[in-house]
Chain A
Amino acid sequence: QSLLTQPPSASGTPGQRATISCSGSSSNIGSNSVNWYRQLPGTAPKLLIYRNNERPSGVPDRFSGSKSGTSASLAISGLQSEDEADYYCAAWDDSLKGPVFGGGTKLTVL
């Protein structure tokens, strides 16, 4: 049972906007920044968002992150078939003294 809770699945149609939530607590999301990762099948994870809402170079602005209190969200606009992947949130946890990952959300583009 992860300290960060994500829905196991999400879906959307091409061109739509999808959102994935990540719920934590005061010891992780409530006091530290959130990162988001995408993992395509059979590949290593890729950083999508860091410091709650910053995009690394090369990540399109279709991807955006937000944080409020002890929850965070990843939004993907203009869904494309290649967005089908597993998405993970992560944050430092002050109690565990280490990062924690959410359980992951499988996004399906219908």
Chain B
Amino acid sequence: EVQLVESGGVVVQPGGSLRLSCATSGFTFREYTMHWVRQAPGKGLEWISLISWDGSGTYYADSVKGRFTISRDNSKNSLYLQMNSLRREDTALYYCTKEGGKYYYFNNGLDVWGQGTTVSVSS
């Protein structure tokens, strides 16, 4: 069974930093692009970042560019999101999610999602 399990979400002050992790299992991690998608309370889905299967390609939404860094460790089947200079508007449930097709960026849909980890930016 394919599983994605996020961790690392906490309450943090504005301007602070946080690192989210996503542990994966049940598929060949190194063959798939991975994404982070967030959902602010009561709001819709917002894509924030992707990393290609081999880590050579990374993309960011304008809202997080220059503050967040996505990375992966294929030897540990894990995905990460380093979040710096956090703002109140970064408060959200953060989902780790997997591209549905091997070696694609966003062609076959995001077919598996974790349950999310909550980040709250508040003083």
Contacts and interface: CB of A to CB of B under 8 A. Distances in A.
Nearest to A102: B44
B25 interface: no
Interface stretch (B9-17, B55-63, B82-90): B55-63
A101 B95 CA distance: 14
Of the four ranges (under 10, 10 to 19, 20 to 34, 35 or more), the interface on chain A belongs to 20 to 34
Interface residues of B, number: 24
Given A44-B115, A46-B113, A47-B110, A92 B46 contact: no
A71 B47 CA distance: 20
Interface in A41-100: 44-47, 49-51, 56, 86, 88, 90, 92, 96-100
Interface in B92-108: 95, 100, 105-108
**Main SS class of interface, A:** strand
A103 to B, nearest CB: 5
B25 to A, nearest CB: 16
Nearest to A100: B47
Interface in B26-42: 35, 37
Given A44-B115, A50-B100, A99 B107 contact: no
B59 A47 contact: no
Interface of B: 35, 37, 44-47, 50, 59-62, 95, 100, 105-111, 113-116
